[in-house]
Amino acid sequence: MPRKLLVLAYYFPPMGLSGVQRASKFVKYLPDHGWQPTVVTVEPGGYFAFDQHLLRELTEREIPIERTRSLDPTRLFRPSRTIALPSEGKRKRLASLSQWVFVPDNKVGWIPFALRAAGRLLEEGSFDAILSTAPPYSSHVVAARLAKRYRLPLVLDYRDDWIGNPRHIYPTPVHRALHRRLEQYAGRAADAVVAINEPIARAIGERLGVPTTVVPQGFDVEDYPARSERSDNKLRFVYAGVFYDLQTPDAFLRGLARLLGERPGLREHIEARFVGLFPDRGKRLVHDLGLEDVVHEVPYAAHTEAMAHVGQSDVPWLVVGHGPGQEQISTGKLYAYIGAGKPILGLVPPGVANEALSAYGASWTAHPDDPDAVDEAFRDIVRCWEEGQWPAPFEPFRAAHDRSELAGTLAAVLDRISS
């Protein structure tokens, strides 16, 4: 008889983008490991992208999903309306304003609705544990209140650090103190913490004194369609997803331009595809560098479609910018690429993403602020392409990041705290 799990996840299908993937795939595969989830999330509102495929694969498995209202900024838009991704400057201004006004985040208006819906479910049925995933950290506040009220074991899942998040701005000492108090409140209610990597797990464990387990990001083997043969023989780079904060296309585009300056004969044999939401700033740089004939934009697509583009690439690539706390970033994009089994170009500083690429084996890494290292990586990729000899991934590392296996790791944590 499967045990029942209440899952609190604000970001959930049909919303798209990377923040949705982890919760969605946990929910998809936990039933295979003895846990039947019921999800409390929001009704679709204004968001940057939607992915109906992610929702279909859950409804086909008859996963119960309880949707609620919420009083937060995205509710200003019509349901399921796609809104434009703001420029990086505007995003930072909005984030700064939001962090002045809302604590712990601008999803605080979801708390009363989530409490009401989850409380009703807990009153009507027998549940064995609660799982909350953050950000938004409002989810953890809801989960802590429910765990205390109904005396249920609680697991807090961190996709990003809370107090130690490098992208979080604390306008005043009072704001920082409020966040710290809420983080401690959630931590006192938790029986276990899971996090996407060791630095985040260690930092949270030290602050909260709660047992922590690393459940890394991963890939779903069902997201990769069968590959068809390409009709061209171009060297194709693919970036799938969005750019934000210190993650920009600049280092890649400038490196590509330098490569073509060194070897102009390669121009007709190289293609760089950007699948997703390509920023206006990136488009201007493409124009300034004279790369319009090499760079191709593909509109945002469902995750499975994006993975089809990755599967048709020679080298998918990613970037992690250099700055405080960036060593903690292990972007989900990296593990989606790993699932495709492709050799990967990582423009990343030292940190967990760099270490993962090294463990994967089939990779080139260069600091995004080191043009010489970027150039050397491009040259070696071209050499591999010309010789038809690509590095092979370390298969045990790849297999360890299968979403089904990772759901089993989470299930083991749930088993432990609920026994």
Q: What is the pLDDT of residues 333-391, one digit of tens each?
A: 999 999 999 999 999 999 999 999 999 999 999 999 999 999 999 999 999 999 999 99
Answer for the pair 230, 238: CB distance below 8 angstroms, yes or no: no
Burial of 186 (0-12, 13-18, 19+ CB in 10 A): buried
Q: Domain residue spans in the chain?
A: 3-218+403-418, 221-399
Residues 6+ apart with CB under 8 A from 413: 155, 192, 194, 213, 215
pLDDT at 73: 76
pLDDT of residue 32: 98
pLDDT range class, residue 81, cuts 50, 70, 90: low
Rounded alpha-carbon distances, angstroms, from residue 362 to 50, 241, 274, 350: 31, 21, 21, 17
- % of the chain exceeding 90 in pLDDT: 76
The reply to whether omega before 171 is within 30° of 0 (cis) is no
Q: What is the mean pLDDT of the chain?
A: 92
Residue 301 confidence (pLDDT): 79
Assess whether pLDDT exceeds 60 at residue 84.
Answer: no
In the chain, the N- to C-terminal Cα span, in Å, equals 14
CA distance 294 to 308: 20
Q: Which two tokens stand for residue 202?
A: 């260690």
Report residue 312's pLDDT band, with 50, 70 and 90 as the boundaries: very high
Fold equal for 3-218+403-418 and 221-399: yes
Tokens of 114: 């989530």
Class of domain 3-218+403-418: alpha beta
Q: Once rounded to an integer, what is the mean pLDDT over residues 49-71?
A: 91
pLDDT confidence bin for 230, thresholds 50/70/90: confident
Q: What is the mean pLDDT of residues 156-171?
A: 90
The pLDDT of residue 53: 86
221-399 sits in which CATH class? alpha beta
pLDDT at 267: 96
pLDDT level of residue 94 (50, 70, 90 thresholds): low
Sign of the CA dihedral with 341 first, then 342, 348, and 349 last: positive
Residue written as tokens 């798209």?
16
